A and B are shown apart, each in its own frame.
Chain A
Amino acid sequence: MNIETSYSGDTAVGVVSGRVDSSNAKDFDGELSGIIDGGATNLVLDCGSLRYISSAGLRALLIAIRKTNQAGGGLALCQVPENILEVLEVSGFVRLTKVFDTVEEAQASFK
């Protein structure tokens, strides 16, 4: 798992690649928390290169959703591969976060 982050104002875009599973969900949580605690109230996660996310990763995602909500912002996902979208649907996460096709659409949702 790796996250490459870029910033524009109070919106951060994190490009997530690899796998988020039980072995590295803590690192994923730490990286997301670092981005949000660093002042980004809006967080876009580009999931185009994400291979899979297990329930441990969803827990970290839930914490990030709560944090951005509390900060008055939000979390949006984009470029989500089909099988990972199924994970988000089955777990009910599609109701907790918005899912967009492109990074631009996700960014625009915060304006």
Chain B
Amino acid sequence: MRVLIIDDEDDVLTMYKERLEADKFEIETASNGQKGLDLAFANPPDVILLDIIMPKFNGLDVLQMLKSRTETKDVPVYLLTNLPEEASGEKAKQLGAAGYLVKANNEPSTVANLLKGLASAQKRE
């Protein structure tokens, strides 16, 4: 399963990449919204993990862009962020995010399990 992670903190990218690659996921990373979109449009992944608060290109804007293009609109996007859910959970749902993961409560192993579940669900389809 191919996963694209977009987050402005390099340490966050390293953290999740380390664990997910150990679980045999194919990982692509981008440290800003624009790079992330370029990668997603060029080679649509199976899942996208997207940080919301990023300088210049806000995560919610990236989400909107992803949902507006045919090649990426069906890719499930999980918002990976530090804000408590009330802060922008509503807007995220409105824009079509698949889920909301507060980083502090969802360390790499949790995300790995979530993605494993997703992968087996997708295989079954």
Determine if chain A interacts with chain B. Answer: no
Q: Which residues of A contact B (CB under 8 A)?
A: none
Q: Which residues of B contact A (CB under 8 A)?
A: none
